[in-house]
Structure 1
Amino acid sequence: MRTVAALLMMLAAQAVSAATAREQLDTFAKGLRSLSGSFQQTVFDANDKPGKETRGTLALEAPRQFRWDVSKPYAQHIIADGMHVWIYDPDLEQVTVRNQGIEESHSPLTVLTDLSQLDREYVATEAGERDGAQWLRLKSKAKEADFEYAELGFTTAGLTRMVFKDTLGNRTEIQFSDWKRNAPVTPGTFTFKPPAGVDVIGEVKPEAEVHPVKD
C-alpha cells in the first residue's frame, strides 16, 4: 500500500512538473483579485557582481493597483493608485510622481491580476526549467522598452521567482514568499498623499494614456 501511495505521489509530481509555465501562470492567476506577500531582491551588474540585497512587502489589486514597500536596507515606497505612480524616498524627503501608463512597462507583475495585459503588451515564450522552476519569458512590445526581458518562475507553490534583465545588462532577481490570495486589503493601501515638507517631482494631471481604476 505504501508503495502504491508513493507511486501515486510521484505521478502527481510529474504531472505538475509537466505543466508549462504559461499554464501555471493561468492557474495561479485564475480568480485572482488581490495578492500580497514578501520579497527578497538582489541586483547583479553586467559583470554578474551582486549588489545590496533589499527586502520588503508587496501588494496588488485588480485591475492596476500596486504597492512595493522596501524595508531593508533603506525605506522606499512605490504606490500605483490606478492613475499615477508615486515613488517616495523618506531618507531623501523626496516624492516622484508619473502617469501610471508610463510606469506599467516596468511591472510585469501586473499581468497576475490582468492576464489580458500579457498578450496585449508582451510576447510570452516558454523558457524551460531551471532551479526547480518552470520559467515564462516576457518581452515588452513597446518600441523603447526599459528592460530586455522579464522571467516568471513557477513551482507547485505558484510564482516563486522573477528575473529582470535591463538594456544595460544588469539583472535583478526577486524571490517571493508568504503569498496571500484575495485577502481583504487594508483601506488606503493604494493611495498616497505626499507628507508635508517633502519635495515633489512631477505633476499630477490626467493624460490620455493613463489607465483609471474601474469599479
Structure 2
Amino acid sequence: MNKLRQAMCAVALGAAALAPVMSSAVYAAPAPASEQQATSSLVRQLSGVKSFTANFEQTTKVSSGKAVQKKGLSAQHMNQTFKGVMKVERPGKFFWETASLSKQTIVTSGKTVWIYDPDLQQAVRQSLDDQVANTPALLLSGNTSQIMKSYRVTQPDKTKTYYTLYPKAGDGAFQSLTISFGANKAPALMILADSLGQTTYVRFNNVKVNASIPASTFNFAPPKGTDIIDQ
C-alpha cells in the first residue's frame, strides 16, 4: 500500500456484536438520530477527550479480487497490518507513528502537518487546514467547528456512541468514516471506506485518556539530508 495513502487512512469504528435472533422474536430496528442530534452527540464525545494516547493496529482489506484487478491493485494492498502509536492533544496536536511493517511518522503541533518517511529520507509538509478533511486521523485532534464544516455526521443508532461521517467535499481521500467510542469515551475502533473498494480498520488498545503528554512530542525537525516536499 502506498505509504502516503497509508498515512491518510489512519481511522476507525466500533462494530457492535449482534446477539442471535430467535425465529419467533420480533425486534425493532434501531432508531437513527437526526443529523443535528448526531452532530451534537459527536461534539460531546470529542469535547470530553482533551488528550489520549493509544497503540493501534491498522489493516486494509479489498472488497473483492475482481475489484483488485479492476483498480490495478496488487495482493500487497490486502490484509496487511501496520502497528504503531498515536498521541493526541486537542486542539490540533497529533502524533502518529507506525513501527511495523514499515516506519512512518505524522506530526502536527497545530499549523503544519509533517509526514516523514525515513526509508525514503523524505518529509512532506502540508497545511493542517488543508488536510483535516483529507486525513481522517487528524479529525481526532481537530476543533469541532472545523469538523462540522468538513463532514456530514450520522448516528445509525441514537442509543450507541458510534457515528458515520461523510466528507462534504467531493474530492476527499475517502467516502465514509465510522468511529466508535469505548466506555472511557475515547475512540476504540474506526473504519474507513474509499473509492477504490478498500476498507481500512484501525483498532486502538492500551488507551489512556486525558494524560499529560510532553510538548516535544508534537514538534518535528527533519533530520539532516531529508528531502522536504511542500504540498
Measured against the shorter chain, the TM-score band is 0.7 to 0.9
Query: For 2:31 and 2:170, how far apart are their aligned partners in 1?
Result: 34
Q: 1:45 Cα shift?
A: 2.3
Q: Is the 8 A contact 1:25 1:154 kept in 2?
A: no
State whether structure 2 residue 55 is matched by structure 1 residue 38: yes
Q: Is the 8 A contact 2:103 2:119 kept in 1?
A: yes
Cα–Cα, structure 1 residues 156 and 181, in superposed 2: closer, same or farther, change >3 Å? Answer: closer
In the alignment, residue 37 of structure 1 is paired with which amino acid?
A
Instruction: Tell me the residue number matched to 2:150.
Output: 121
Q: Is the 8 A contact 1:149 1:166 kept in 2?
A: yes
State whether structure 2 residue 186 is matched by structure 1 residue 171: no
Q: 1:51 Cα shift?
A: 2.9
Q: TM-score, normalised by structure 1?
A: 0.74
Q: 1:134 Cα shift?
A: 5.2
Where structure 2 has 5 or more consecutive residues not aligned to the other structure, the ranges are 1-29, 66-74
Q: Deviations over 1:110-168 (max 9, x none)?
A: 44453333322110112359xxx753110011232221010012343542110111122
Instruction: Tell me the residue number matched to 2:114.
Output: 86
Instruction: Tell me the residue number matched to 1:156.
Output: 183
Q: Is the 8 A contact 1:24 1:154 kept in 2?
A: no
Instruction: Tell me the residue number matched to 1:47.
Output: 64
Q: TM-score, normalised by structure 2?
A: 0.69
In the alignment, residue 135 of structure 1 is paired with which amino acid?
Y
State whether structure 2 residue 166 is matched by structure 1 residue 142: no
In the alignment, residue 154 of structure 1 is paired with which amino acid?
F
1:99 to 101, 105, 127: 127
Instruction: Tell me the residue number matched to 1:8.
Output: none
Identity value in percent: 28
Q: Is the 8 A contact 2:31 2:157 kept in 1?
A: no
Instruction: Tell me the residue number matched to 1:202.
Output: 230
Query: For 1:57 and 1:40, how far apart are their aligned partners in 2?
Result: 9
Query: For 1:31 and 1:157, how far apart are their aligned partners in 2?
Result: 10
Where structure 1 has 5 or more consecutive residues not aligned to the other structure, the ranges are 1-16, 204-215
Root-mean-square deviation over aligned CA pairs: 2.8
Cα–Cα, structure 1 residues 112 and 187, in superposed 2: closer, same or farther, change >3 Å? Answer: closer
Cα–Cα, structure 1 residues 110 and 94, in superposed 2: closer, same or farther, change >3 Å? Answer: closer
Higher relative contact order at CA 8 Å, sep ≥6: structure 1 or structure 2? 2
Q: Deviations over 1:81-105 (max 9, x none)?
A: 2221111111121111111222211
Query: For 2:102 and 2:31, how far apart are their aligned partners in 1?
Result: 40
Q: Deviations over 1:45-101 (max 9, x none)?
A: 242773310000111112112111101111110112222111111112111111122
Query: For 1:27 and 1:18, how far apart are their aligned partners in 2?
Result: 19
Query: For 2:215 and 2:57, how far apart are their aligned partners in 1?
Result: 25
